[in-house]
Amino acid sequence: MEREAILAKLNRAYFSENPHEKAILEHLGELLAEAKLFVDIGASLGQYTFYASRILENGQIVAIEADPLRYEQLAHNCEQWQTASGNKITAIRAAVAESAGEISFFTTDSDVSGGLFAHPTSAPGVSWRELRVPCLCLDDRFAGQVPDLVKIDVEGAEGRVLAGARRLLAENHTQWLVELHGWDDGAGHGGAEAIYRLFDQLGYRNADFHGADLFTRRPTPALARLRGRLRRLARRLRHAL
Q: What residue spans define the domains of the chain?
A: 3-240
pLDDT at position 204 over 60 = yes
Average pLDDT value over all residues in the chain: 92
191 CB-near residues (< 8 Å, 6+ apart): 156, 159, 180, 181, 182, 183, 184, 185
- Specify the DSSP class assigned to residue 240: H
pLDDT of residue 87: 98
pLDDT of residue 1: 80
pLDDT at position 227 over 70 = no
- Model-level pTM? 0.89
pLDDT in tens, 146-174: 999 999 999 999 999 999 999 999 987 89
pLDDT in tens, 59-78: 999 999 999 999 999 999 99
Dist CA 157 CA 36 (whole Å): 26
Q: In what order do the strands lie in the sheet with 204-209?
A: 88-93, 60-65, 37-41, 149-152, 175-178, 212-217, 204-209
pLDDT of residue 225: 53
Shortest CA distance to 150 belongs to which of 15, 49, 11?
Answer: 49
pLDDT in tens, 12-60: 999 999 999 999 999 999 999 999 999 999 999 999 999 999 999 999 9
Where does residue 138 fall: left (phi above 0), alpha (psi -120 to 50 degrees), or beta otherwise?
alpha
Residue 201's pLDDT band (cuts 50, 70, 90): very high
Kindly tell me the burial class for residue 227, based on how many C-beta atoms sit within 10 Å of its own C-beta (0-12, 13-18, 19 or more).
exposed
Residue 223's pLDDT band (cuts 50, 70, 90): low
pLDDT of residue 23: 98
Ordered alpha helix ranges (H), the chain = 3-15, 22-26, 29-32, 47-53, 68-85, 138-141, 158-163, 166-170, 192-201, 221-240
Ordered alpha helix ranges (H), 16-115 = 22-26, 29-32, 47-53, 68-85
Total residues belonging to the chain: 241
- As beta bridge partners, residue 130 has 106
Please say whether the beta carbons of 74 and 64 come within 8 A: no
For 24-33, b where at least 16 C-beta lie within 10 A, e where not — what string? bbeebeebbe
Superfamily classification of domain 3-240:
Vaccinia Virus protein VP39 (3.40.50.150)
Pairing of strands 149-152, 37-41: parallel
